[in-house]
Structure 1
Amino acid sequence: MAIHDLLLAGGHVIDVGGGHVGRYDVAVRGGLVAAVAPRLPAGSAREVVDVTGRLVTPGLVDLHTHVHPGATYWGIHPDPVAWHSGVTTWVDAGSAGAWGIDALRAAVGSYRVRVPALLNISALGLTGRTGESTDLAHADVDAALDAAARHPDLVVGVKARIDRETVGAHGVRPLERALEVARAAGLPVMAHVAAGPPGPADVLPLLRPGDILTHCASGVAATGAGPVVREAYARGVLLDVGHGAGGFAFDVLERQLAAGLVPHTVSTDLHARSRYGPVFDLPTTMAKLRAAGMPLADVVAAATATPAAALRLPGGVGTLAVGAPADIAVFAVREEPFAVVDAHGQVREAPERLVNTATYVAGRPLPPALPEPPPPWVPLTAAQRAALDRRDGALRALLGQPLVGPEELAEQFPRTFPRPERG
């Protein structure tokens, strides 16, 4: 008798958080991981999927994304990207502040993927491109604490963007208020750095162990591998890649790796401007860390168990531990050179490419979904627009054809009277 709903059989599993690395079968029952073992009986499951030769990981956890389109400058719908990238947990990094958290909550309820959120210290959130903390009154500690208390299952941290455009003349004061909220609510802070002042030298000394510096390998902010970065790293501040449209440079990452400053987490900062390049998706961003020399198992851990632990996500998210949500990603591994580019045009070569072949949330495969068109304010090159047009044309041509030919159909409602003779 079948006791499992699904059995993924024969895959190479990398589940650092759950302690499974190697050839394992993964069984699912009731939306949860039921068993992980080298060999499970095929007859124990109602559905068996042969994933021999494929890489099987926990559903990827992207620590820095922006959802909530239509209400924010940066937001995108996560589901159309999730189904072809393996990302089942999208951490929204500050799209909503105290004034918009209820609307974000309503939007999250319509997504198929999991979306915990970092509450923007600015009550405005990311309704605009930047400038949300130039009026310090928007960094309202009491309003933020109330928002976090009303949504304890949604709000898993506090986000503060600290750069000259965002904070104006206020320096690190919005970050100080974010830390005040975080201490009172028992949450970590994610601090964004970009063109300063303030810069990393102002931000990093304020961060506590377990707080997160995103855009850690920025070519715009002065991160690098200097004493301030080293001291923060030794103190337990977490370094997050947070690629984005301008937050990642290969040469900076390579200096950090040479100094032993390995990023704790790899995230995309995927949003309306970065999804068309240079980021594209999380597997492509993971390939950039591979190109810089990080081992595959370490890169997978940085996109699964480590970000989940950093935000104390409940229930085994980011692992395939028994009882964890059956969020699972399956990849074909194309072992061929793969050119990847950072935010500044520097190109490196990854040793392989991960191509997602299936993404499961709570044990069910995500269905295909078409992405929304880019909003009019997103700058695109002529080549990007032409590529989008080609993709639209290919989809139209594919979907405009009959799915199968006449000989591949069955009679669904047989006739109950004789067929007419053909003369």
Structure 2
Amino acid sequence: MSGQGAGERFDLVIRGGEVLDPGAGIQGRFDLGIRDGRVAAIEPEIDLARAERVIDATGQIVTPGLVDLHTHIYWGATYWGIEADPVAARSGVTTWLDVGSAGAYSFPGFRRYIAEPSRCRVFALLNLSSIGLIAPTWEFANPDYWDVDLAAKIVEANRDLILGIKARIDRNTTRGVGVRPLERARELADRVGLPLMVHVSWGPPTIDEVAAYLRPGDILTHCFTGGDMRILGEDGRVLPVIRDLQERGLILDIGHGTGSFSFAVAEAMLEQGVLPDTISSDIHQLAVQGPMYDLPTTLSKFLALGMSLPEVIERATARPAAAIRRPDLGTLRVGSVADIALWRLEEGDFVFHDVGMDERRGTQRLVNTLTLVDGQVLPRLPERPPHVWAVLPEHQRR
């Protein structure tokens, strides 16, 4: 796995860890050699005399940096946004996909003030609504905001950052206009040739109405919601239309957040053999306060539900990277960027909650110990306090 000569030097060697990269088929005790911000070698043992610096990962798990497919990081200009870098340093998330915080009018600010200064990797899905998520919801209530032509121009000017289109479709975001904004979002995604992510929650509209607009490669986020747009029928079975779409390439994404993850739905789905394709946080001003907290906590919930560690890690690395058409990320293959996370897998008796505060107990918890981007350690930084409006629902205040 090296690709290097025996005497070549490394800027950094991470030694002695259990390397886990399910997407690349790498699992075992290996040393990683890093040079010029990229993975240069993966070997059972690297001579430490060849290293400028050494990180001892003995007893820890070493994975690719996590790729979070559903985040909100437009701090200061939107209702939901947090700052990515401080959370990245403590959570192992090196690639952040902001989904719909910015619309056409606010995307230039997102690029200049969020993406460009960030130490971690930042990409976006553009909201069809030209105002984005400046407020908690209602972004599609006014049809004047559904400006497909303007959105397409913004995509064309920012294809390095914009990797898809986002539409939140529920009773609050649409406010009586039905699926018309989804029709326009579909038009926009098809015009620019990018995937469409659709958020579901409480209707109207119905999940069947939404499903009619989904295509292979699109992303249905909040797929384990307990709302009445959930993908389980009244009989508790996965809706045939959703099962068929997933088999044809629809991506089922978790997007935990503050209102979108139900243990009961998750258990029913897993019992029927329907696993999420990607596990994301939907981290934002409220969710970071709990019960979601961060992506490692969300991954730990799926360990508690019976998924294996390789299954969970793959759904937060290689699979979301493939969903955004960036297979160069979320991997430790030789030659890839050295975005890396180190972990302790703690054993104990842990209590986890879904958004309704239903609890499940687990015996394992992932705890991030170090995060690197381009082979450089991200410093632990203080996180800003929540905005004055970021108050958890009463039932989640513990």
What's the TM-score bracket when you normalise by the shorter of the two chains?
Answer: over 0.9
Q: Does 1:250 align with 2:250?
A: no
8 Å CA contact 1:213, 1:240 repeated in 2: yes
**Structure 2 match to 1:379:** 391
- The SS at the match of 2:121 is coil
The alpha-carbon deviation at position 228 of structure 1 amounts to: 2.7
Q: Which deviates further from its counterpart, 121-130 or 133-142?
A: 133-142
The alpha-carbon deviation at position 217 of structure 1 amounts to: 0.2
Aligned-partner residue type, residue 57 of structure 1: T
In structure 2, distance between residues paired with 1:267 and 1:294: 15
Measured against aligned partners, the alpha-carbon deviations of 1:102-133 in whole angstroms (never above 9, x if no partner) come to: 00001211211111100001111000110001
Q: 1:169 aligns with which of 171, 176, 181?
A: 176
The alpha-carbon deviation at position 83 of structure 1 amounts to: 0.7
- The SS at the match of 1:84 is helix
Measured against aligned partners, the alpha-carbon deviations of 1:342-401 in whole angstroms (never above 9, x if no partner) come to: 00111112231111110001100001111111111111489999x9xxxxxxxxxxxxxx
Pair 1:301–1:165, CA change in 2 (3 A):
same
In structure 2, distance between residues paired with 1:32 and 1:289: 30
In structure 2, distance between residues paired with 1:142 and 1:18: 40
8 Å CA contact 2:357, 2:396 repeated in 1: no
Aligned-partner residue type, residue 298 of structure 2: T
**Structure 2 match to 1:413:** none
**Structure 1 match to 2:123:** 116
Mapping 1:178-189, distance limit 5 Å? 178-189=185-196
Structure 1: any 5+ residue segments left out of the alignment? 388-423
Q: Does 1:341 align with 2:348?
A: no
8 Å CA contact 2:356, 2:395 repeated in 1: no
In structure 2, distance between residues paired with 1:380 and 1:97: 25
Measured against aligned partners, the alpha-carbon deviations of 1:35-81 in whole angstroms (never above 9, x if no partner) come to: 11222221221111110110100000000000111100000001111
Q: Does 1:273 align with 2:286?
A: yes
Aligned-partner residue type, residue 147 of structure 2: D
**Structure 2 match to 1:332:** 344
The alpha-carbon deviation at position 195 of structure 1 amounts to: 0.8
Aligned-partner residue type, residue 122 of structure 1: S
- The SS at the match of 2:52 is strand
Mapping 1:132-171, distance limit 5 Å? 132-171=139-178
The alpha-carbon deviation at position 180 of structure 1 amounts to: 1.4
8 Å CA contact 1:249, 1:343 repeated in 2: yes
- The SS at the match of 1:88 is strand
Q: Which deviates further from its counterpart, 330-339 or 355-364?
A: 330-339
In structure 1, distance between residues paired with 2:362 and 2:287: 20
The alpha-carbon deviation at position 17 of structure 1 amounts to: 2.1
Q: Does 1:321 align with 2:333?
A: yes
Q: Does 1:28 align with 2:34?
A: yes
The alpha-carbon deviation at position 19 of structure 1 amounts to: 2.4
Measured against aligned partners, the alpha-carbon deviations of 1:300-339 in whole angstroms (never above 9, x if no partner) come to: 000000000001126x110011121110000011122321
Q: Does 1:94 align with 2:107?
A: no
8 Å CA contact 1:326, 1:362 repeated in 2: yes
8 Å CA contact 1:159, 1:189 repeated in 2: yes
In structure 1, distance between residues paired with 2:231 and 2:8: 54
**Structure 2 match to 1:223:** 231
Aligned-partner residue type, residue 303 of structure 1: A
- The SS at the match of 2:288 is coil
In structure 1, distance between residues paired with 2:319 and 2:362: 22
Mapping 1:291-306, distance limit 5 Å? 291-306=304-319
In structure 2, distance between residues paired with 1:350 and 1:267: 19
Aligned-partner residue type, residue 87 of structure 1: V
State the identity as a percent.
49
- The SS at the match of 2:176 is helix
In structure 2, distance between residues paired with 1:294 and 1:27: 30
Q: Does 1:264 align with 2:272?
A: no
Q: Does 1:75 align with 2:81?
A: yes
TM-score (norm 1): 0.88
- The SS at the match of 1:355 is strand
8 Å CA contact 1:276, 1:384 repeated in 2: no
- The SS at the match of 2:24 is coil
8 Å CA contact 1:205, 1:232 repeated in 2: no
In structure 2, distance between residues paired with 1:105 and 1:300: 29
Mapping 1:342-381, distance limit 5 Å? 342-380=354-392
8 Å CA contact 1:265, 1:306 repeated in 2: yes
Q: 2:71 aligns with which of 65, 80, 104?
A: 65
- The SS at the match of 2:352 is strand
Aligned-partner residue type, residue 337 of structure 1: D
8 Å CA contact 2:355, 2:396 repeated in 1: no
The alpha-carbon deviation at position 94 of structure 1 amounts to: 0.5
In structure 2, distance between residues paired with 1:345 and 1:382: 11
Mapping 1:225-240, distance limit 5 Å? 225-240=238-253
Pair 1:383–1:196, CA change in 2 (3 A):
closer
- The SS at the match of 2:209 is helix
Q: Does 1:8 align with 2:14?
A: yes
**Structure 2 match to 1:84:** 90
Aligned-partner residue type, residue 226 of structure 2: G
The alpha-carbon deviation at position 191 of structure 1 amounts to: 0.3
Aligned-partner residue type, residue 318 of structure 1: G
Q: Which deviates further from its counterpart, 135-144 or 64-73?
A: 135-144
Aligned-partner residue type, residue 301 of structure 2: K
Aligned-partner residue type, residue 340 of structure 2: I
Pair 1:380–1:23, CA change in 2 (3 A):
same
Measured against aligned partners, the alpha-carbon deviations of 1:129-168 in whole angstroms (never above 9, x if no partner) come to: 1000111221111111101100010000100000011012
**Structure 2 match to 1:211:** 218
